[in-house]
Amino acid sequence: MSANRTIARVASGLGALALLHLAFATPTYQRPDGLPIGAAALPIAASIALAIAGCAWRTAFQRPASWLALLILGQAASLQIVDAGTRLHYQHYRPWATLPLYPLPAAILVMQLALVLGGLRSKLRVVREWIANELGTGRAIALAAALVLLSATLSENVAAYRQELVTATLVQLTALGNVVVLALSAQGTAVDALSKWFERLTGPDDATNHAGMDRFAWWCGGVATVLSAILAVTVYERHPHVQDEVKYLLQARYFANGMLAMPAPPVPDAFRLYLIDVGPRGWYSVVTPGWPMILAIGEFLRVPWLVNPVLTGVNVILLYLLARSLYDRRTARVAALLLLCSPMHIFLGMTYMAQPATLTCALLAAVLVQRTRETDGVLTAWLAGIVVGFCSIVRQLDALVLAGLLGLWAIGLGGTRLRVRAIGGLVLGTALTAAAILPYNAWFTGKGTAFPIMEYHDRLFAPNANAYGFGPDRGMGWELDPNVGHGPIDATINANLNATAMNVELLGWSIGSLLVAIAFVLAGRHGRTDRAMLVTIVAVFLAYFFNYFSGGPDFGARYWDLMTVPLLVFSARGLLTMGNRSPTASHSIARTRFLTAASALTIAMLAAFLPWRSLDKYYRYLDMRPVLRDIEQQQSFGRSLLIVRGPEYPDYASASVSNPLDLHANVPVFAHDTTLAARKALVRAYSDRPIWIVDGPTRTGDGYRVVAGPLTADEVLSGTWPR
């Protein structure tokens, strides 16, 4: 038997290596630059599945490992029939008519369905018992409805949406059946070994809350930081990919150099960027300065790309501290692990977006309020208020939600009431810190209550284009806006977009990320703190219901990021408590089976979803890419002017990141080819420099490419250069 096991492991190892070679070294799965495409996620996942099955051959874990391999393979196959990619759109399952173009993924999914149906036949009694004990018929129907409605995003074509609902529901139900069979297939020695392992992982049974840290939280935070940093370097290329990030990074750069604004560019039309304005005070970003102030620390240290990965790890630690003080050690550890393995959180951590900082503010403020409650102190209440106030100059709507929730919590809704002095410190700390934005606004607009971003949008689009609430004048006419203006129908559509994105991205589970949290809520065993968490979800939902824009398909439901904490806490609570009512299984065995299922889903996510999302979407997302990395191998430019042809976004926006703050510095300067008048003025302003013409990705269909140069100013003005 030992020899057979060795042979099986060697064979599976060789097969796994062959599949990895197929993914990374076969032209079919490669881009022009040699990196794998999204389709390579299938052989990558298959190699991991084969390795897992081979290692468990002829052991107590053979059956659960085989089901795990099938779960991985099924998720990887289902992702191959999803249309996501680097374009700006919400992902959808491909129409049935196109499935013959994907014979291998379709065959794998059919095989998975057949095997799962066969495996479930002997497990139906246990499943029915769990439903009866935990939910009952009515709540089980509600859970099934949630699974269906959250499985697919709305489409303009109703028939296409119905078809996609069928596909998505079938895929999720198959994965759910797969993970149920997997969890129940572990018997005897395997269950005992898993129980002991989960006991070590989650810690001993400690039903009391306690404010404190352990090495486990530090470990989780460190791993989260490292994982996000690796993605920031390898997938995101330490380069902005979304328009918002360009202005954040530019603002951080001039903040790091002690400037509130930059000198106006010599030819404003040739350096124009969205959300970057020119006024009497100079050239500046119109967004609130909170997040760029944090990002400026990284810019000062020459590692701005590392700021969000650090905050990603800090958020994991803060979530542990909050959950440990509100619940128990096991809930805190499982919630921290779920945040550590959340694709939405980890992918946001590789970006230059503001959401990780907002989540840090929210978690830190909540931890400080809870600390105030435990110690009866006042200083921590003031500090909590300062954090909330600072959050208001990062993201105002999130800060408003946070202030309201913490205020209710402080006066006794969901927790013990704080003393009057502490409540006063929380309120005053918030108000005084938030008021710091008033002189900043006045510096640019002449009025403390007039925000630069509001005046900018009113001038660029129309009055109230960026205003909050319902109205026919809301919005900028973007493609992702459901309808003109903003009303209840638009708000409902936006809610669906965010809910389905959260269901995909929060945990990346093939059964849906929200299923366990919803099941816990429906089960009805809630304490006072659980109800406060539920209020948080409702508050975030209502706040953004009246916001005209959903946030778009970038990095999951990022506008709902504050929901992450209660949703993951509910998921942790569900995994640890659901099944306790079963008369035929002990609490320990039920918990082991649920944690086994969650572990299997997370392993499948890491093997299938994470590489697929990295390769299929976020690498060179929206055609944003480092311009110098594309063209500096073609030529050493030195003190030159490079005129970029193509749309402002992505072609010029991506290139502008390489510009110096001083547009007359002795380094390459990138300008945008807009109008003939702007081009003439630009050439005259830089007449002492050699000039190069660069085509952007949307013109070349690939990367940046030098098409002419070096040219003199006269050659550019006369148009005699080769076109």
Asked whether residue 238 carries a pLDDT value surpassing 80, the answer given is yes
Q: Which of 12-26, 162-176, 579-593 has the highest mean pLDDT?
A: 162-176
For 84, other C-beta atoms within 10 Å of its C-beta total: 18
Which pLDDT does position 718 carry in this prediction? 79
pLDDT digits (tens, 9 = 90+) for 332-341: 999 999 999 9
Q: What is the pLDDT of residue 631?
A: 82
Mean pLDDT calculated for residue range 23-34: 84
- Above 80 in pLDDT, residue 582? no
Q: Is the pLDDT of residue 722 over 60?
A: no
Quick check: 4 pLDDT over 80? no
CA dist., res. 154 & res. 287, Å (int): 31
**From start to end of 184-254, where are the E strands?**
none
Report angle CA 533, 537, 538 to the nearest 5 degrees: 115
| pTM metric for this prediction | 0.94
Q: How far is CA 138 from CA 517, 573, 574, in A?
A: 17, 21, 19
Mean pLDDT, the chain, whole residue set: 91
Range among 416-430, 571-585, 703-717 rated most confident: 416-430
The closest of 474, 448, 441, 464 to 279, measured between CA atoms, is 441
Residue 49: phi and psi, rounded to 5, are: -60, -45
Q: What angle do CA 611, 164, 489 make, to 5 degrees?
A: 105
- In the chain, the largest separation of any two C-alpha atoms, in whole Å, equals 88
Residue 210: per-residue pLDDT: 67
pLDDT at 482 over 90: no
> Which strand (E) or helix (H) includes residue 346?
helix 343-349
State the pLDDT at residue 580.
65
Supply the pLDDT for residue 28: 86
Mean pLDDT within 307-322: 97
Instruction: Enumerate the domain spans of the chain.
Output: 2-185+586-621, 627-718
Residue 212 identity (one-letter amino acid): G
Averaged pLDDT, 685-696:
92
- At residue 581, the pLDDT reads 61
DSSP state of 237: T
| Coarse DSSP helix, strand, coil percentages of the chain, rounded to the nearest 5 percent | 65, 5, 30
pLDDT in tens, 340-357: 999 999 999 999 999 999
* pLDDT tier at 149, thresholds 50, 70, 90: very high
Q: Where are the beta strands (DSSP E) in 626-711?
A: 641-645, 669-672, 691-695, 705-711
pLDDT of 170 > 60? The answer is: yes
Question: Residue 132: CB partners within 8 Å, gap ≥ 6?
Answer: none
Provide, rounded to the nearest whole percent, the portion of the chain with pLDDT above 70: 97
Tokens of 295: 């990002």
CA distance 658 to 636: 15
pLDDT score for 27: 87
- Which of 329, 331, 330, 402 is closest to 368 using CA atoms? 402
Residue 555 to residue 349: CA distance in whole angstroms: 10
pLDDT of residue 114: 96
For 93-140, write each residue's pLDDT tens digit. Answer: 999 999 999 999 999 999 999 999 999 988 888 888 888 888 888 999
pLDDT at 579: 66
What does DSSP say about strands 276-279 and 282-285: parallel, antiparallel, or unpaired?
antiparallel
Phi, psi angles (nearest 5°) of residue 702: -145, -110
| pLDDT tens by residue, 41-75 | 999 999 999 999 888 787 888 899 999 999 999 99
CA dist 549 and 482 (Å) reads 9
Report residue 208's pLDDT band, with 50, 70 and 90 as the boundaries: low
Report helix angle 379-392 to 290-300, nearest 10: 90
pLDDT at 586 over 90: no
pLDDT in the model for residue 323: 94
pLDDT of residue 399: 96
pLDDT at 370: 94
Examine the pLDDT at 12 and tell me if it is beyond 60: yes
pLDDT at 327 over 60: yes
